[in-house]
Amino acid sequence: MSETLLSISGLSKAYPGVIANEDVSFDIRRGEVHALLGENGAGKSTLVKMIYGLVKPDAGTMRLNDKSFAPSEPRAARAAGVAMVFQHFSLFEALSVAENIALGMETPPPMRALAARIREVSQDYGLPLSPERLVGDLSAGERQRVEIIRCLLQDPRLLIMDEPTSVLTPQEVEILFATLRKLSADGVSILYISHKLEEIRALCHTATILRQGRKVATCTPKDVSAREMAEMMVGVSFNAATRSSRPTGDAALTVEGLSLKASSQFGTSLKDISFTLRQGEVLGIGGVAGNGQDELLSALSGETATDPGSISLHGQDISRLGPNGRRRLGLLSAPEERLGHAAAPNMSLVENAALTGAERQGLLSGGFLNWPAARGFTKNVISGFDVRTPGPQVAARSLSGGNLQKFVIGREMLQKPDVLVVNQPTWGVDAAAAAAIRQAILDLATNGAAVLCISQDLDELLEISDRFGALNEGRLSLILQTSELSVDEIGLMMGGAHELDAAHG
Amino acid sequence: MDLSSINPALLLASLLVASTPILLAALGELVVERSGVLNLGVEGMMITGAICGFVIAVNTENPALGFIAATLGGAALSLVFAALTQLALANQVASGLALTLFGLGLSSLMGQGYVGIKPPPTPKIDFGPLSDLPFIGPVLFSHDLIVYVGLALVSAIWATLKYTRIGLILRAVGENHDAAHALGYKVVRVRVAAILFGGACAGLGGAYISLVRVPQWTDGMTAGTGWIALALVVFASWKAGRVLIGAWLFGGITVLQLNLQAAGVAIPVEYLNMSPYVITILVLVIMSADKTRAPASLGRIFHASD
């Protein structure tokens, strides 16, 4: 096992104005699961793209199996035995599973033979998949299987996985880990990129940590704590979110029998959702993506009007009010999709701040916007939430995902909401910024606001929420105290199991 | 009014002829759109093909050379579009509209001095005894090569898209160009090839109007056929078989309304003239009720970032 498969030495890559990687060197052994850790923008993606032949390094060399390895394109990398599962799935929704897999192969066999092989490999590795189905109809977990099987059919020697677990339920993560361990035992090396430090400790043999494009450490994850790894990534020590015990107050937001038909073919209908959100509490809503999260957010934010009487704020029926009416009453929301939903990509930060903040921040006078005041509000968001940007005038799309997320969350929080609804508040945000956002959510609740946090990151929900429920196919599970829950129970709630009702009823 | 003067066999035969230009242009555009590119310049490429084919056919006295020239002319004009949208990353809608205007102007310039001239006749294929069969003979076996080329293209494009690797790659590029790029496929190269194919088909369709259908040259003689071809592709849900049905429908109603006009039906000529456009669109709207999605990357600019 000590034989080296891939040896990287002195790899550097610069883009105009940014150094993505500088002098990165490390080795991956045969059959090893090797973690690549780093904050957003630490250069993980660029490094991986160089190994996969999508980006050419400026300097440095790679050796694969003791032979010089400089793939000029992904095809060459694949031919050399390097396969990659992408973070944002690189699948074609309108094509079938088999067609998608055929596209990732050099010389695909005829369709019928390929379908048989897909069935065979997917059974072998415990990832059942039917080759005829359209990818557009598959769940996130199933789509990932398509990618993995596409890689496995090429008998790879190195499998690169970019944040594979961000879309999976705990049970699906277990299945994936079992598959990866089996592959590792078969001698396949795995380069595993993730933000989730506990996963890395459970799965990986070695970890290489990048910071600002440079390698800062190599460690054995089992021997160090998640906290230590996070500090190596960030370079400074930071605190996990702390909650101060607080009494929960009166009901702030009451949802009763909320049902909503899906607006699109691939959407999910909400079915008879009821819950009460109290002042001073954080209610966490978990569940796998696509089980009604977006629909719930749009019903609560006011983008979609619902049946009269289904949503009330402090006893007042707000079901028919639009987003601005609800904002005026103190219910604010931050949707998941940063570009295009939470923020208009081509408008400046000031304009984006004015779009949701105009009413509550008093930026309007007689229909005219008070731009100096809007700029002041924007600057407050930027300084209060450590948004890294050249200034308030830059377009929203020019910010990195994490920074834009901080801006979007900060913009709503500074408007002093009574009730805040957020969806995926720390999606794609690095560990330090995520910790800051979680802390801000807890502080908001401590100050008496009610927060509904929809997220697919279970660790996050367990960390910040007082009570927890899960969405499954548009239905909301029982809502239970977070402190009483085990991970198994959560998994069952997310899977829509009903034996919980009996257990806790 | 004398409806008995309408001969069904001749009607069907001329339907095939009348539908050929729009069929060719729409098939080309279908391939272009399946690769994720929206080229609104079909009309411009058709009329350019029409005049290129006409000029060469008249000067060489050889219609075959004319059709080849039309194909090249249409493809050459589409190359302008390809350079603008795929290399300079210009907006596809604006570039396509400009291409139409440019094509109309260019053809008008090239066509000066060719008005009123008759092109050499395009020979019909000799099927021997087959063309003497009653009814079927005149309907199916009395045409020139281009009609059969159009029909062959329908099945060729259908089979290529469905069964071949090149078709799969083309669909993949049109569906998700970022993913196709990440897998190592040459998005720009595939799209330029598709655009050239679309231009060639449109040029051929245009020349069929100026050399066979109308046999003469007048400015702007394609008269919106290119636009109907564009609509046809959308309403045919990007499927080759439905494009054929739509083209036949359009061609059939065009021929029928001409026959009705000749027979002196008491409907104002203007209504008869607009009927092919209205009815084709209506039927296609109904046909496209199954909500097949457009290629997901259609009209989006692909920029190969890192």
Residue B302 covered by a domain: no
Contact A235, A431 (CB under 8 A): no
- The whole-number average pLDDT for the span B291-305 is 79
Instruction: Tell me if B169 and A86 make a contact (CB, 8 A cut-off).
Output: no
Contact B168, B188 (CB under 8 A): no
Give Cα B236 to chain centroid, integer Å. Answer: 14
- The domain that contains B51 carries what CATH number? 1.10.3470
pLDDT by position in tens, chain A (length 505): 448 899 999 999 988 767 888 899 999 999 999 999 887 667 888 899 899 988 899 999 999 988 899 998 888 898 899 998 876 667 888 899 999 999 888 788 888 899 999 999 888 888 888 899 988 888 777 888 888 888 888 889 999 998 887 667 777 888 889 989 999 999 999 999 887 778 888 899 999 998 888 898 899 988 888 778 877 877 765 555 566 566 678 889 999 999 988 776 667 889 999 999 999 999 999 887 778 888 899 999 998 888 998 999 998 999 999 998 999 999 999 988 777 788 888 899 999 999 988 888 888 888 888 999 999 999 999 998 888 888 888 888 888 777 888 899 999 999 999 999 999 888 777 777 888 889 899 999 988 899 999 988 777 888 899 999 988 888 898 888 888 877 777 777 877 655 444 444 3
Length of chain A: 505
Instruction: Tell me if B184 and A74 make a contact (CB, 8 A cut-off).
Output: yes
Domain with B79, as residue range(s), is 3-112+133-290
Rounded-to-integer distance, Cα A114 and Cα B240, Å: 26
Residue B123 covered by a domain: no
Residue B271 covered by a domain: yes
pLDDT digits (tens, 9 = 90+) for B250-276: 888 888 888 888 888 888 888 888 888
- Read off the tokens for A126: 């415990």
- Read off the tokens for B103: 């094509």
Helix (H/G/I), strand (E/B), else coil: B263: helix
Instruction: Tell me if A94 and B293 make a contact (CB, 8 A cut-off).
Output: yes
The answer for A 460-479 residues in CB contact with B (under 8 A) is none
Rounded-to-integer distance, Cα B201 and Cα B21, Å: 9
The answer for A 263-302 residues in CB contact with B (under 8 A) is 265
Residues of B in contact with A15 (CB under 8 A): 306
Instruction: Tell me if B184 and A73 make a contact (CB, 8 A cut-off).
Output: yes
> Sign of the C-alpha dihedral, residues B171, B184, B40, B164?
negative
Rounded-to-integer distance, Cα A70 and Cα A64, Å: 9
Domains of chain A, earliest start first = 4-234 (3.40.50.300), 251-503 (3.40.50.300)
Length of chain B: 306
The answer for B 158-217 residues in CB contact with A (under 8 A) is 165, 168-169, 171-172, 175-176, 178-180, 182-185
CB under 8 Å to A202, separation ≥6 — which residues?
A: A177
User: Within a 10 A sphere around the Cβ of A490, how many other Cβ atoms?
Assistant: 22
Residue B124 covered by a domain: no
| pLDDT attached to residue A500 | 47
Put simply, whether A498 touches B (Cβ < 8 Å) is no
- The whole-number average pLDDT for the span B64-93 is 95
Contact A153, A105 (CB under 8 A): yes
Give helix A371-384 / helix A401-413 axis angle, nearest 10°.
110
- Read off the tokens for B139: 């309907």
Instruction: Tell me if B165 and A95 make a contact (CB, 8 A cut-off).
Output: no
Q: How far is A261 from chain B (nearest CA, A)?
A: 19
pLDDT digits (tens, 9 = 90+) for B101-156: 999 999 999 999 999 899 999 988 888 888 888 888 888 888 999 999 999 999 99
- Read off the tokens for A244: 């101060």
Put simply, whether A99 touches B (Cβ < 8 Å) is yes
| pLDDT attached to residue A1 | 42
**A301-306: Cβ within 8 A, 24+ apart:** A301/A326, A301/A331, A301/A333, A301/A335, A301/A421, A302/A326, A302/A331, A304/A260, A304/A263, A306/A258, A306/A259, A306/A260
Residue B206 covered by a domain: yes
Residue B275 covered by a domain: yes
Rounded-to-integer distance, Cα A101 and Cα A151, Å: 9
| pLDDT attached to residue B94 | 94
Domain count, chain B: 1
For an interface test with B, the pick among A99, A103, A146 (most B C-beta atoms closer than 10 Å) comes out as A103
Q: How far is A52 from chain B (nearest CA, A)?
A: 9
Q: What is the spatial order of strands in the sheet that A18-29 belongs to?
A: A18-29, A4-15, A59-64, A67-68
Contact A85, A100 (CB under 8 A): no
Residue B265 covered by a domain: yes
Residues of B in contact with A89 (CB under 8 A): 179
Put simply, whether B296 touches A (Cβ < 8 Å) is yes
Number of helices (H), then strands (E), in chain B = 12, 0
Q: How far is B257 from chain A (nearest CA, A)?
A: 40
The rounded radius of gyration (Å) of the Cα atoms in chain B is: 20
